[in-house]
Amino acid sequence: MGSRSKFEAWKCMNKFHCCVNLSPQPHYPSMTRYPNGTNNQKLESESESKAVFSVIGMTCSACAGSVEKAIKRLQGIREAFVDVLNDKALVLYHPAMVNKERICEAIEDAGFQAKSIDEESNDTSSQICRIHIKGMTCTSCSSTIESALKTIHGVQKARVALATEEAEICYDPNIVSHNQLMETIEDAGFEAILISTGEHISKIEFKVHGILNDESISAIEHSLKALPGVETIDIYPHINKITITYKPYMTGPRTFIQVIESTGSGCFRAVIFPNEGGRETHRQEEIKRYFKFFIWSLALTIPVFLTSMVLMYIPGVKHVLDMKVVNMLNIGLLLRWEFSTPVQFIIGMRFYIGSYKALRKGSANMDVLIALGTNAAYFYSVYVVARAAFSKDFEGSDFFETSAMLISFILLGKYLEVLAKGKTSQAIAKLMDLTPDTATLLTQDDEGNVISEQQIDSRLIQKNDVIKIVPGAKVASDGLVMWGKSHINESMITGEARPVAKRKGDMVIGGTVNENGVLHVKVTRVGSESALSQIVRLVESAQMAKAPVQKLADHISKYFVPLVILLSLSTWLSWFLAGQLHAYPKSWIPSSMNSFELALQFGISVMVIACPCALGLATPTAVMVGTGVGATQGVLIKGGKALESAHKVNCIVFDKTGTLTVGKPVVVTTKLFKNMSLQDFYEFVAAAEARVNSEHPIGKAIVEHAKKTTEYHEQNHPLPEASHFVSVSGHGVKAIVKNKEIMVGNKKLMLDHNISISVDAVEMLAEAEKLAQTGILVSLDGEIAGVLAVSDPLKPDAKQIISILNSMKIRSIMVTGDNWGTANSIARQAGIETVIAEAQPEAKAIKVKDLQSSGYTVAMVGDGINDSPALVAADVGMAIGAGTDIAIEAADIVLMKSNLEDIIIAIDLAKKTFSRIGLNYIWALGYNLLAIPIAAGVLYPFTRFRLPPWIAGAAMAASSVTVVCSSLLLKNYKRPKMLENLDINGIKIG
């Protein structure tokens, strides 16, 4: 934005001016909202108040959109502008209807921290770090970690996702470090592994060959720190490893290698350290660890099981097992004690550690339930051993098999669970694997001639490098085509199946495949800045975000474990007292037990079967799989909240240009009304329109046509300079070119400036409207100089998509800034009945709010730039069209292929995902509601059926695995059958 601040841009925008080269974050013009029955004129006459808020936790424009949407839905808000770069929000409001406290509450409800700026004595900076967490078992664990992190001074926001096993923390690096955050997680009883320390920070590790002593380490560190963009340097001399975090747009890994190797008179050689990190590696380690624990536990449990339940029925073996060692202590009991003890205290140590640290923090989790249940069985059995050893007539049953088998089955369940959970994040793993391992780096002279080629590791690519892409190879990084022609298959990124033609000046995306032809590409984005990294980060963020429906599960889980412990104790006490008071016949007690032991088994069964793991996994696993499937379909869904809103949509508001139409307008007719050459005419038009930076499709079409007409060449025939440029939002532009005032725009622009429109010009406009063309008037020094007719045809599948939406009982409305004639013509072709034309951005948003007040759940489909006010106001904003800035669009859902059919896919996928979430909750809650009474022995008086604790443990583990597998079924998602009959599924204009 240059030297102008975003708040200055906002002021400028309110005067219907448009600043050039604004920040890529969309801005959201004024939208007034009044409650029913309010006197609007009275409110307008009241003095408005202005407040600036500090908003902590925003990381991208999607966050800014969420904050702005939350504020603007309040009654009495006149304007809200969110500055994501400076973590601030400017709000104009009517103090009679809303106050600062209520605005703060709305921002906090959206998931961010807010304070009025005048309440803060010091400005705070913020940084995002992501940490992988090992050892979480249920939502109680994630809640414990969240609470611990939020109590740290300097932490602004923390969220922990059970399904992804990650924490995302927004903190002030001036107050607290990421190492302190990791220590806090470890103090809570979990293992923490740092993933990243910033949104736009890259990390690389080098292995240095050579002797690293204190002197050389100091020299290397000093040299590296002198480089611009270097953030942190960590040196590990014992393994010859150097870790560097840096800003990829300022420096790069090859520079680091040069600095390291030039230090110490060239006695060092640096190479990229073998990759040992990554989410998938940690997941595989966790799977191996659980498998190892389960195998050892099983090996020790099988003898316990055999001696207690199988071998005792074999006459010869039974005699050996019953042989007395001391008094009533026999060999079988002694063997069970010896085999079950390492299972309880060595393999089961993780449950003791987890429960101790959870209880120390004042919470209870699954580990507490397991530790209580297994300890009750084990130590009662030890009591039986002691009594048998010191008594000559004691007869009692041990429960060693209960504790050992319970731990074995729980470990089996956790192994199957982490195995299944690993598959929920396969979409991210596939995206991350798209980048090729190597790239061909070109060295060029000043004239652009290739001097040499070099094969390098793709992680060594830096900004402004020129790389060579041969046919069949993957594009190594985002960049600009400098030489060559080819077709690129972008389906792995955008979901678009058709190869896209690329030539000099076109952008290419890292991870896509070059179909034919050789390309020389200048790298523009690397590391965390690349489109692929942004998409991965967006999907990861979506999988971290909690759906509103998950709040219910988190609330239940908070009280669930203490309630289960209470129920377990009540069950044991009820059955024990009933036995002591002879409230049931002695025949109910198995021959191998007494009333205390029967009661103890019922109590343990209740404790272990009612774990809330399945409840905690119901939503996040479904959201993970749903958003992952969406990414592979070219539909980026930004988290559970977007899914929850999308499945309720019953009204869709469409923009026209680029949404319902192809979005590639062309000038089809030009008519002059002044005595001047066509070349001179278009020279004026191009000079004015080019000043807009060609962001609007129609403006771009006019500039391209003008360039062809004037044989414009940037070096040989530059366009004249345009001064005093003004963009009138929704109407056109005006400027001074060659000392003449030129206006290019619609009829309203001319009438507002008292420019008379001739009858011939009016007739030409009317004729263009009948043909569904947009008429553009051009005036010079207050007189109409000519009329342009611009045609933007309807997308071939638009009519069928609208028809399908009608069959789904979803209302379709078109809102456009174009004239009524063109709008009505396009709407008739598409089959849309309700049309609003000549609408400025604010009017689109107001229409969305009117529909919401009428009871509709509204989705707005637009390009994400001019339609941003409506995208923010809608329940679900859908940005159609994707580029390399995909991750910073302020929409809830991004349709990357620009195909209208993806609207239906997005809604259908949201319905399927949310339906799966509902099914998961029914299973998880229903399982507990059904299983707890059975475990407590409700059926025992009638059927003599009871659940032994080890079977209860197996059932508990099976419930979690079932919920995860239920979510995994979403991976089989297929596009709706109603789309299979489309004649054309999409269109691509080269």
Residues annotated as catalytic (active site), given as ranges: 655
Strands (E), 714-807: 722-728, 732-737, 740-745, 773-780, 783-791
Distance CA 876, CA 859 (A): 5
Closest CA to 635 of 626, 647, 622: 626
Closest CA to 166 of 202, 191, 140: 191
Q: How far is CA 450 from CA 442, 445, 474, 929, in A?
A: 6, 7, 21, 72
Q: How far is CA 975 from CA 535, 542, 804, 869, 905, in A?
A: 22, 21, 13, 30, 6
Q: For residue 256, how many C-alpha atoms fall within 13 Å in the half-sphere facing its CB?
A: 31
Q: Tokens 């219910």 sit at which residue?
A: 552
Phi, then psi, of 485 in degrees rounded to 5: -135, 145
Q: How far is CA 4 from CA 7, 10, 54, 793, 865, in A?
A: 8, 10, 20, 38, 20
Phi, then psi, of 4 in degrees rounded to 5: -80, 140
Secondary structure of 417-431 in the HEC alphabet? HHHHHHHHCHHHHHH
Distance CA 572, CA 560 (A): 18
CA dihedral 745, 747, 752, 754 (to 10 degrees): 110
Q: How far is CA 36 from CA 43, 103, 981, in A?
A: 13, 20, 45
Which token pair is 568? Answer: 């377990």
Residues in contact with 59: Cβ distance below 8 Å, sequence separation at least 6, in sequence order: 84, 128, 170, 199, 541
Burial of residue 587, with CB atoms counted within 10 A of its CB: 0-12 exposed, 13-18 middle, 19 or more buried? exposed
Strand partners, 744: 733, 778
Secondary structure of 73-106 in the HEC alphabet? CCCCEEEEEEECCCCEEEEEECCCCCCHHHHHHH
Distance CA 439, CA 296 (A): 46
Q: Compute the chain's Rg from CA coordinates.
A: 34
Q: Tokens 């637009």 sit at which residue?
A: 862
Distance CA 453, CA 468 (A): 8
Residues in contact with 635: Cβ distance below 8 Å, sequence separation at least 6, in sequence order: 495, 893, 894, 895, 896, 902, 905, 906, 909
Angle of helix 139-150 versus helix 349-360 axis, rounded to 10: 40
Distance CA 895, CA 520 (A): 29
Residues in contact with 742: Cβ distance below 8 Å, sequence separation at least 6, in sequence order: 684, 685, 687, 688, 734, 735, 736, 778, 779, 780
Which token pair is 825? Answer: 């013509």
Distance CA 848, CA 444 (A): 54
Distance CA 621, CA 743 (A): 55
Sequence-distant contacts of 760-768: CB under 8 A, at least 24 apart = 760/671, 760/673, 761/673, 761/787, 764/669, 764/671, 764/789, 765/819, 765/821, 766/821, 768/669, 768/821, 768/822
300 contacts 342 by C-beta, under 8 angstroms: yes
Which region, left, alpha or beta, applies to residue 327 given φ > 0 means left and ψ of -120 to 50 means alpha?
left
